[in-house]
Structure 1
Amino acid sequence: MKVFTALYGLNDAAERARELRDAGASGVATFEGPHDVFAPLTLAATVPDLNLMTNVAIAFPRNPIHLAHQANDHQLLSSGRFILGLGTQIRTQIEKRFGAQFDKPVARMTELIAALRAIFAAWNTGDRLDFRGDYYRHTLMTPTFNPGPNPYGPPPIYVGALGPRLTRAVAEHADGLLVMPFGSKRFLHEHTMPMVRLGAAGRDGFTVLPEIIVSAGETDAEREQADARTRALLAFYGSTPAYRPVLAAHGWQDLQPELNALSKQGRWDDMGGLITDEILHTIAACGTPADVARHIRDRVDGIADTVCLYQAAPLSLETLAAIVDELR
C-alpha cells in the first residue's frame, strides 16, 4: 500500500519532503491553510521519486486558467508526478473568506473540470480553445500564453467530496476521488462507494484515494497527546453541518448541533470532551503504528491501494516509517 502524508511548512518544504520520502512516503500533499497550497509543492518538486498533490486547492475562488497554468507548471517541474486536487469548501468560507460565489456547487465543479480539460486539450493538441459554459467561458488562447504540449501529459484531476451528488459527479467526470478524512468504514462502504460505482460505471482508471485521520504514537504518552489533538480536530469537523451525515451513519447525528452551539459560544476547549472513545476510534486510526495500519487496511480493503494520512499535528518520522512498514 502506498502512502501520501501531509507536507507542512514553506521554507523547509524541500528538505521536509525529502525526509518524508526517506521515511517511506510515496507522496506529499498540501492543504489550503496559512500558506498557498501550491508554493510548498514548487519547492518539493525538486525531490525525486515523490508524488505531489494539492489537498485541496479551493476551486471556486480560482479561475480555470489560473488553475491550469499552476497545475501544468507543477506537472513539468515534477516530471509528471503532480496531482491537481480540488475542493469546494463550504458556503461560509467561499462567500465570506474568499468573497466568491458558491451557488450550485455540484454543477459548478463539474463545469470547472470540463473547462480544465478543454484548456489542457488546447495546449496539448493545438486545437482552438472554445469552451462556453454557464459559469466559465474560455475562447481565447494566443501563442504568447500557450505553454504548448506537456511531455508528461495533463496532470490528473482529483476532487474531494462527501455528499452523494458531488461524489457521483466526481466519479463521472474527474480522474480520482479524494475521500474526505472525516469518515468511517461504514460511511465509505455504504454511502461513498455506491455513488462511485454509479458515477464511474463503464469508466476505466478512476481512482479512489481515501484520506484517514491518524492518531498515533510510539509510547503511551505520545498516543495520549495525539488522541487529545485528534478529539479536538474531530470536534471541529463534527460541528459543521456538512459532516452530519457521517455522524448520522452511526446514530450520532445529535452531536453535530451540540458541537456547533459550543463553537458559536467560543467554547473550543470543551468540544473535544464530547468526542467519546467510540467516536474517536471509529473515525480515526488510533494507537500504535500496527494498530493504525490494521485500521487502515480494514477500512479500505478492496477499494484502494493508496491512502492519505491526515494528521492533527505532524507525525514523527519514526512513527510515519513504522506505519508505512506495517502497511507494506
Structure 2
Amino acid sequence: MTDDGELTFSIRGVADIETHGRAGLTELTQLVESAGFDMIWSGNDFLSGGGLATLTAMLWVSERLKVASGVLDPVTLHPGQIAQFASGLQWLSDDRFILGLGAGSEEFFKWASIPHDKPVPRTRSALLAIRALTEGRDLSTESRAGGPWLPTARLHHPRAVPIYVGAMGPRMLEMAGRYADGVIALALPPRYVFEVVKHVRRGADAAGRDMADIDVAAGVWCGVSERPEDARAGLRRHIALMSGSLSVDALLSSGLDPEEFAHVQSLLDSGREDDAIAAVTPGMMELAFVGGPNEVIDQCAPLVAAGVRHISFGMPGVAQKAEAIRLLGHKVIPELRRMAAE
C-alpha cells in the first residue's frame, strides 16, 4: 500500500503444469500478460500442483510479468534450497522472480507427520537466511537465521530477490513489516486488508522502516463470470476445502464465526466433502469478491478509494479461467485504474 496512486494487479491460482500441461500453462500465462496484469503467483502448497516446475515454466513463457511463489515454506524445503532456487530463477528471468515465503499449513504437514517449529520464528529465520544467501553474505555470524551456519555455506552464484511474506495473523504480519520487501496477505474477507496494514505498519515502525517501501498485496479470493452463479458455486467449494487453514484471529477480527469453519473442516475430515460444501454459510461467502464484472468492480472500489494499491485476485474454483482472466483484465482492472486516477 502506497500513496503514489499507482495500482498493481496480480493474479493467483491460474494454472499449474501438472493440471494444464505445457501448452495450457503457456496459454494461460501469456493470456494474463496480455490482459494487463503486473504479476502472477503460482501456488506451492505441500503435495499440490507443479510447484517449482510451474514457476520455472511461467518465467520461461512470459516476457514482462513478474512471477511469484505463493508460497514456499521452510519446513518441507530447507532455507538454503529455497535461496538456491530463488537465485536460479532470478538468473533465468532477468530479475522477474519474487520469492513468496510462508510458514506453510500445519494441516498439510500432518499428512506426512512432518515436525515443525512455531510459525513466526521459523519464517523469520528462513527469511533472514535466504536474504543473506541470495546477497552473497556470510551467515556464520547471523544468530537469528537458524543454523548454525558455517562460513562455507554460500551460494556459488547468488542473485538478490525480493522476499514477500505470506501472512494472515498479527504476529506474522508485524514480522513481515520488520523484515520483508512485501506482504501477500490473504484478505479474507477483503476488508481484513485494513487490519493487515495496521499490523504491518506496527512492525515497520518498530524497525524504523517506511511503509512506502513495503508492497502490501491484498490477496482477495475472486470469482467472476458472465454467469455469476457458476462463480459462486466454485468459490463455495474452495471455501469449504480451505476452511481449516484460515487464521482464527483474522476471522474473529472480521466478525466471522470460527466455529462455522471448524464445522466444515470436521465434515471434510470425515470424508463428507459434499456435506462440507453444502454447510458453507452466506456469512462464510463474505470471504470473497464474487459475481459478474460490474459486481466485482463495485466490491473492489472501496479498497481502491481507501488507498489499497495492490490487489491480488485469487482464482480458486473458477471453471472458466480464461474467461475470468479476460473479464478482470479488460473490464475490471481498467475501471479500477480509472477510479484511482481521479
Query: TM tier, shorter chain?
Result: 0.7 to 0.9
Q: Map 1:42-191; keep pairs closer than 5 Å.
A: 42-46=56-60, 47-97=62-112, 99-122=113-136, 128-130=138-140, 131-133=142-144, 135-141=146-152, 146-148=156-158, 150=159, 154-185=160-191, 187-189=192-194, 191=195
Q: How much does 1:156 deviate?
A: 0.5
1:87 to 1:303, Cα distance in 2 relative to 1, 3 A:
farther
The answer on 1:313 being equivalent to 2:329 is no
Q: How many residue pairs end up in the alignment?
A: 311
- Whether the aligned pair in 2 keeps the contact of 1:184 and 1:283 (CA below 8 Å) is yes
Q: How much does 1:160 deviate?
A: 0.8
Distance 1:251 1:320 in 2: 27
Q: CA RMSD in A?
A: 2.3
User: Could you say which residue in structure 2 is the equivalent of 1:203?
Assistant: 209
Bigger mean CA offset, 294-303 vs 45-54? 294-303
The partner residue of 2:54 within 11, 26, 40 is 40
User: Could you say which residue in structure 1 is the equivalent of 2:34?
Assistant: 22
Q: How much does 1:227 deviate?
A: 0.3
- Whether the aligned pair in 2 keeps the contact of 1:28 and 1:53 (CA below 8 Å) is yes
User: Could you say which residue in structure 2 is the equivalent of 1:5?
Assistant: 11
Q: How much does 1:212 deviate?
A: 0.6
Letter matched to residue 253 of structure 1: P
Letter matched to residue 48 of structure 1: E
Q: How much does 1:230 deviate?
A: 0.6
- Whether the aligned pair in 1 keeps the contact of 2:129 and 2:145 (CA below 8 Å) is no
Structure 1: which 5+ runs fail to align? none
Distance 1:106 1:311 in 2: 27
- Whether the aligned pair in 1 keeps the contact of 2:224 and 2:291 (CA below 8 Å) is yes
The TM-score with structure 1 as length reference comes to 0.86
The answer on 1:228 being equivalent to 2:233 is yes
Letter matched to residue 326 of structure 1: E
The TM-score with structure 2 as length reference comes to 0.82
Q: How much does 1:247 deviate?
A: 3.3
User: Could you say which residue in structure 1 is the equivalent of 2:224?
Assistant: 216
Q: How much does 1:251 deviate?
A: 4.5
Q: How much does 1:172 deviate?
A: 0.8
Question: What is the CA deviation profile of residues 141-186 of structure 1, one whole-angstrom value per residue up to 9, with x for unaligned ones?
Answer: 488x5115x4xxx11101111111111111111111111153330x
Distance 2:133 2:232 in 1: 45
Structure 2: which 5+ runs fail to align? 1-6, 338-342
Q: How much does 1:213 deviate?
A: 0.6
Identity %: 23
**1:254 partner SS:** helix
Letter matched to residue 59 of structure 2: A
1:61 to 1:301, Cα distance in 2 relative to 1, 3 A:
farther
The answer on 1:288 being equivalent to 2:292 is yes
- Whether the aligned pair in 2 keeps the contact of 1:212 and 1:296 (CA below 8 Å) is no
1:142 to 1:168, Cα distance in 2 relative to 1, 3 A:
closer
- Whether the aligned pair in 2 keeps the contact of 1:161 and 1:180 (CA below 8 Å) is yes
Q: How much does 1:67 deviate?
A: 0.7
Distance 2:247 2:304 in 1: 20
Letter matched to residue 266 of structure 1: G
**1:313 partner SS:** coil
Letter matched to residue 319 of structure 1: L
**2:257 partner SS:** coil
- Whether the aligned pair in 1 keeps the contact of 2:68 and 2:97 (CA below 8 Å) is yes
